[in-house]
Amino acid sequence: MRYPLSQVSLTVLNTCHPFIVQSALKVTEVMDFRVECGSRTMEEQDRLKAQGLTTLSGHSPYAKHVVGAYRKLSDAIDVDPYYQTEPHVRYPDLMLKQVLDPANSKAISRQKYIEGCKAYAQYARLADAFIHAARRIADTNPEWFGWRLRWGGDWDEDYRLSDNIFDDLPHLEIMRP
């Protein structure tokens, strides 16, 4: 089954590098998702850093969403999964639910923990689809041979998710050899 992207998602997707665009279009063959973010300005990146939603400033060459000085198209994408059987969970909402638990300021409630696990699994499944799609595209295109996507839920790509210091579940970025 094919899951068409909305016009808004397509518009945002087209601010990304063609490697990401092709990977995303391949993922639409197996999963439904929306594109939350492609390119950002330096100012937008700095605002997100001030809010604690990213660790890199807009002037960092490692901020892969930022276009302008270092790149013309975004080397990163933020995506949110859609599921028909479960309500759509947006990552910022999930973060707020975990932080703002009135019952216990140090630990999240069992219900919020379960919601978080479900959302984490949804993002992990979507990231896996993107990583596999990117691998197939890189293997068939000599220009992108050896390229891959790295997920913000497993920065060091060791499949141990518990060692992440900063989780950015919607985030995928290009890694070049």
**pLDDT on residue 162:** 76
Q: Which has the closest alpha carbon to 19: 68, 75, 79?
A: 75
**pLDDT on residue 73:** 97
**pLDDT on residue 100:** 37
* pLDDT by residue, tens only, the chain of 177 residues: 789 999 999 999 999 999 999 999 999 999 999 999 999 999 999 998 898 888 889 889 889 999 987 899 999 999 999 865 555 544 444 444 444 344 444 455 566 666 667 778 888 999 999 999 999 999 999 999 999 999 998 999 998 877 878 888 899 999 999
Long-range CB contacts for residues 132-140, cutoff 8 Å, separation at least 24: 133/22, 133/23, 133/24, 133/26, 133/27, 134/19, 134/23, 136/26, 137/19, 137/22, 137/23, 137/26, 138/19
**pLDDT on residue 108:** 54
Taking the mean position of all CA atoms in its chain, how far away is CA 54? 12
